[in-house]
Amino acid sequence: MYDQYLINNLTYEEKIDRLIATAEKCMNEKRYFFIDFRDKTFAHALCGIGITDGSWTFNDKSYDKCILTLDSNAYTEDSGCFSDENCIYINSETKESYIPAYINKDGAGKNLDYIAIDNDELLNYKGAINPSESPNVDVSEIKHCIFTKNKGINVYPVLKDGTFSSLPSEGVIDIVGYHSFFKADYVHAEVGKPKLLSADLRYINSDRWIDIEFLNYEMKEDESEPYQYDCDIDFSDDKVFIKNNNSEQLMAGFQLRMNRETFSFEPNYWWFTTVNVDDDLTVEVRDEGVLFKSSGSIDVTVAPYYYTLDEEGKFLSVNMSVDPDNKAQYLCSNNDVLVRIDNDRNILYYIDDNNDDIYDTLVKTGDINCDGMIDAVDASKVLAIYAELSTEAIKPIKYTLGDMNGDGFVDAVDASQILSEYARLSTKI
């Protein structure tokens, strides 16, 4: 992440100066250093071993410095990984560069980007051999966004003082999309300006990997035009806020992946949620679980994935599909709800019943709208879901809170049992 940030935020001349300075410093210290170089079509890494002055000519252009490198692509039994063709030749005045083994189409090499790093702690942070305990570089404010450029998504870094700034003019283009690395407190995205057809937006930092994929971009029934998105999204390290500015409901697939040791509710590190947003929705990672908040109603499905550990807590494997004993579950609520996973991988729901921002009241089966009561409203909601399931070909989803008899389905029997429970509770008051 740090080298990508440097590539995006240093000028070409600054990158060349940094490369020369790092090579000179490490040669004096008799140390190796790391070189990442790329253009818009490829990327590769080299091991820098020094620098020398001289006079070289390629394509009628002169170069007076040579960065000596080891390149795995140059390996032979006779010379190992060293080759003149794989060294970096630089004109220290014009800042032009040239690598004979990686000739650009224009032959000049000036389209190449270089980043040189010699920080051992950073390069070996969490490495396989003698890992460093700290990267010794502050990457907490570096954000990484991936989005489809010119597809109706505008992204802005927001600084700590609340001011917006534009993204770096240079990005790394590849088959995934448009990558941007920048320093910010959080990230603001405006979606649907201009018209959005199909796109997704990813936000990545050292703790989280968040992806929002817009799902209802198909043509409207009259085929006059595609669905018009108009929403704002704010990403921070632990929270995502989605504001729907359209009169029509927004549908999006929301993925939340958490790096190891950045959350306490192991082993569920990856959550996939389908969200329907009428007004707004906030998804917040807390120590106890994932909190869903809205000024209106909450309408989501939740599917947690998990990884397995050995007795010493070491990583063994990842279940990349939904836990077969814990399929995606539907959640509808007029209250804010904290979704928690217990040690048996059961999904549990909690609400804050006294407005102290502590979600410690377990939602009981039958209270499908999570308002803290089991009543006729819940029975009506169950019947509505049952009617929808009976008429539409939709994927099977667990409606656990409405499944009173635990048979895996919601139907008229569950509605009847909810009404019976409502009557029983009413007589106790």
Query: Which range (103-112, 131-140, 345-354) has the least confidence?
Result: 103-112
Whether 137 is covered by a domain: the verdict is: no
Per-residue pLDDT band at 110 (split at 50, 70, 90): low
User: Which letter does DSSP use for residue 295 in this model?
Assistant: S
80 shares its domain with 112: yes
The two tokens of residue 211 are: 């992806």
* Shared domain check, 346 and 214: yes
pLDDT at 320 over 50: no
Whether 369 maps to a domain, the answer reads no
Confidence check: pLDDT of 29 > 90: yes
Whether residue 370 lies inside any domain: the answer is no
350 in the same domain as 293: yes
Q: How confident is the model at residue 107 (pLDDT cuts 50, 70, 90)?
A: very low
**91, 123, 155: which is the final residue of a domain?**
123
Tell me the three state secondary structure of residue 200: strand
pLDDT number for residue 397: 61
Say yes or no to pLDDT of 293 above 90. Answer: yes
The reply to whether 48 falls in a domain is yes
Q: Which helix or strand (DSSP H or E) is residue 212 part of?
A: strand 208-214
136 occurs within a structural domain? no
Q: What is the mean pLDDT of residues 23-27?
A: 96
pTM: 0.75
pLDDT computed for residue 30 by the predictor: 94
Q: Is the pLDDT at 105 greater than 50, yes or no?
A: no
Count of domains forming the chain: 3
Token pair in block for residue 399: 């409606």
Q: CB-based contacts of 133: which residues, under 8 Å, 6+ apart? A: none
Spatial strand order in the sheet of 280-285: 153-158, 186-191, 231-235, 239-244, 280-285, 290-293, 337-341, 347-351, 361-362
Give the Cα separation of 156 and 210 in Å (integer).
Answer: 16
Q: Could you give the maximum distance between any two Cα atoms of the chain, in Å?
A: 97
- Give the pLDDT confidence score for residue 173 in this predicted structure: 47
- Is residue 134 in some structural domain? no
Q: Between the CA atoms of 33, 38, 43 and 45, what dihedral angle is there, to the nearest 10 degrees? A: -10
> Residue 46: which pLDDT band, with cuts at 50, 70 and 90?
very high
Predicted pLDDT of residue 177: 55
| Bridge-based pairing state of the strands 361-362 and 347-351 | antiparallel
For residues 26-37, average pLDDT: 94
Q: Is 65 helix (H, G, I), strand (E, B) or coil?
A: strand
Query: Reduced to 3 states, what is the DSSP secondary structure of residue 414?
Result: helix
Rounded to an integer, the average pLDDT of 176-198 is 73
> Do residues 105 and 162 share a domain?
no
Quote the tokens at residue 225. Answer: 């035009």
Q: 314 and 290, same structural domain?
A: yes
Mean local confidence (pLDDT), 366-373: 89
pLDDT at 233 (0 to 100): 92
Residue 396 has pLDDT above 60, yes or no: no
Q: Who has greater pLDDT, 193 or 293?
A: 293
Please tell me which of 112-116, 261-265, 336-340, 391-395 the model is most confident about, judged by mean pLDDT: 336-340
Question: Coil, strand, or helix at residue 366?
Answer: coil
Contact assessment for residue 67 and residue 51, using Cβ atoms and an 8 Å cutoff: yes
Phi/psi for 227 (5° steps) reads -55, 135
Please state, in angstroms and rounded to a whole number, the distance separating the CA atoms of residues 328 and 406: 16
> Are 182 and 261 within one domain?
yes
Ranges 94-98, 276-280, 386-390: which has the least confidence: 386-390
Within 8 A by CB and 6+ apart from 289, the residues are 265, 338, 339, 340, 341, 350
Whether residue 397 is found in the same domain as residue 318: no
What does DSSP assign to residue 217? -
CA distances from 197 to 176, 214, 281, 297 (A): 17, 9, 22, 26
What strands, in cross-sheet order, belong to the sheet with 88-90?
A: 97-98, 88-90, 61-70, 43-58, 33-38, 113-117
> What CATH number is attached to the domain comprising 101?
3.90.70
Query: Quick one: average pLDDT of 365-384?
Result: 89
Mean residue pLDDT across the chain: 81
Q: Is the pLDDT of residue 158 over 80?
A: yes
Who has greater pLDDT, 212 or 399? 212
Q: Give the CA angle between residues 116, 120, 123 to the nearest 5°.
A: 65
Is there a domain that residue 131 lies in?
no
Please indicate, yes or no, if residue 53 is contained in any of the structural domains: yes
User: Is the pLDDT at 324 greater than 50, yes or no?
Assistant: no
> First vs last Cα of the chain: how many Å apart?
59
pLDDT at position 382 is 87
What is the domain range of residue 270? 142-362
384 torsion bin: left (phi>0), alpha (psi -120 to 50), beta (else): alpha
- Do strands 315-319 and 153-158 pair parallel, antiparallel, or not at all (unpaired)? unpaired
pLDDT at position 349 is: 93
Q: Predicted confidence band at 305 (pLDDT cuts at 50, 70, 90)? A: confident
At residue 149, the pLDDT reads 62
